Amino acid sequence: MIKKIFTIILFALSIFAQQNQMDQNQFMLAESYEQNGDLNKAVGIIESLNKKDPSNIQYFNKLNSLYLQLKDYDKSVELINSRILLTPQDISLYGMLGSTYYTAGNPNKAYQVWDDAIEKFNSNQMTFRIIVNYVIEKRDFEKAIELLNRGKAVSKDPFFYSYDLGQLYSITMRYKEAAKEYCDLLRENPSQYPIIESKILSYLNKPDALDETIEVVEKYKSDNISFIYLLARLYIEKKNYDEAFKLYKEIDNKQNNDGSDLFSFGEYVYRENEFATASKIFGYLIETYPTQKNIQTARLYYAKTLEAMLMEKYNKQNPDWKHFYIPATIGLSEVEPVIKAYKQLIKDYQHSMVAVEANLRIGILLFHLRDDIPDAQNYFNIITKDYPSSKFAAPAFIELGIISIMQAKLKEAENDFQSVENLRNASEEDKNLANYYLAKAYSFSGNFEAARKTLSSVLDNLRNNIANDALEFSILLNTAKNDSSNLSLYCKGEFLAEQRKYNEAKEIFNQLSQNPQAFVFHSIAKLRVAQMLIALDDYSSAIANLKLIVDEAEKNIYADKALYLQGQIYQYGVKDFAKAVESYERLLARFPKSLYLDEARKNIIELKKNLS
């Protein structure tokens, strides 16, 4: 008897499985019809399946989706209502029903359905969130805010809705209300600070959002450390670093964290190139926490901020629009305080990486700002001889190589640049820069094959900073492969230019530009003549030479660059802004594919402001 019952059960299960597989096949067929756009056939199949098994949620969802696609909203309403009769406690069904009415163009009926559902299930705080999700789906943010505030008013945990409200307020550009919502939440739950900060930062790029948020947070500040952190962060976003500095000092006093937040803030401000404020921060740290764990780095940063401010002044005195120029020198009284700060680091932290970097910085200051080459070499040599495994050895060798080129000591320059390749801690950028200069040194001594080979390693990495210069140089070397005499003459001119002997270089380039046998070099030589004249501040002659290049148009590949340079002379050299605008506008008209278009447009806008 038991065996017979077991057999019947197995048979019944087998029949059920077969039936279930048939239904699944029908469902897949309906989906296929849907994908092919035959929605009516799909509806017919799903209606049949839903009638057979009205409790199946998969059939219900698919059928409702099809009704909505067909815009048969009455059937969608009928279907959802029938489902509500089956499962009246399913809150999401009321959300779906309201959504159908809303899509059908009857928002008032949708509101009634949603409000009734909230009234019916108001003891469940999830009700508001479930219904609101359907409201948000219809992008009715004001209704969503209304419902969430109703939920907040009756909930035992009013902050349960704060994140949603904050998000909706920010979407609807009610930034003060968003900030207030997040601040209330932060006051109640300080541990939520990282999340709240990220939520606030996410909308601050919108117009007025930052100012309105600061206004709210300032009112919450008091003695709550979380709000002081938040307000400091907002001041940073506002780039009001001095006010942020005051707050970080307050944080430091309250937290007794030995200046760690101040140090991080100082690093950030330094990276933002706000060197004056960074200098104050690190100066304060050095004075207040002389034994702080990061004091070495803080003192290094302090010296580097002094250097950076000095370099800003130096760069203003040097015409960065010129490819070649005679650098200005900074007075010893201005450079000495920075050098003194670095020397103190060397004395206090002997043999540390801070001391090694300080040697490099002093060498660079003496070389580039004071033109004190012998003393600069001494500092670079300390690094290359005593600390060759440091990451500062590569830039020291490069600086020494550049000095050797300027002194016409090409063999020494080659040795310096070659040394970089074998340094364990040399960066790829340093190696590329060294190889670029090495190729130039080879070309200056007439070793063109070695120059070509060395340049190939630089061109393998076209993302590096000197890739364009290397590419231009490589093209020239390869184009003039069979004209070694004129190539030698051109490189002689380049060598003189590197030594800042611009008059002599000009004569070489002028000779090449007029030599009918030096065809490959005509275009570049003419441009170099103009650049040498610019370096010598002979602007009228430079303009005349550039005009000849521009008139050659497509016959000279540097014609657009010449016209751009002409604009630069008028803008920065002779300060004739009207003629500068005229030059840039001619560039836009005559050379629509020029690489200098964006810069020309930017300059035109700036100059027209001055002219008006």
As a three-state string, the secondary structure of 178-221 is HHHHHHHHHHHCHHHHHHHHHHHHCCCCCCCHHHHHHHHHHHHC
C-alpha 65, offset from chain centre = 43
3-state SS of 422-472 is CCCCCCHHHHHHHHHHHHHHHHHCCCHHHHHHHHHHHHCCCCCCCHHHHHH
Q: Which class for 262: exposed (0-12), middle (13-18), buried (19 or more C-beta within 10 A)?
A: buried
Residue 464 confidence (pLDDT): 62
Closest to 603 (Cα-Cα) out of 579, 534, 330, 245: 579
What's the CATH class of domain 474-611? Answer: mainly alpha
Is 80 exceeded by the pLDDT of residue 531? yes
Confidence of residue 154 (pLDDT cuts 50, 70, 90): confident
Contact call for residues 262 and 284 (beta carbons, < 8 A): yes
Q: How many residues does the chain have?
A: 612
Write out pLDDT tens, residues 101-153.
999 999 999 999 999 999 998 888 889 989 999 999 999 999 999 999 998 88
Q: Which residue has the higher pLDDT, 16 or 125?
A: 125
Q: Is the pTM of this model over 0.85?
A: no
Confidence of residue 586 (pLDDT cuts 50, 70, 90): very high
Average pLDDT of the chain, as a whole number: 91
Distance (Å, whole) CA 461 – CA 468: 11
- CA torsion 466→469→472→476, rounded to 10°? -110
Average pLDDT over every residue of 83-90: 91
Write out pLDDT tens, residues 20-31.
777 788 788 888
Residue 123 confidence (pLDDT): 80
Contact call for residues 59 and 49 (beta carbons, < 8 A): yes
Place of tokens 């309250």: 254
Distance (Å, whole) CA 407 – CA 142: 74
Residue 518 confidence (pLDDT): 85
Write out pLDDT tens, residues 167-222.
999 999 999 999 999 999 999 999 999 999 999 999 999 999 999 999 999 999 87
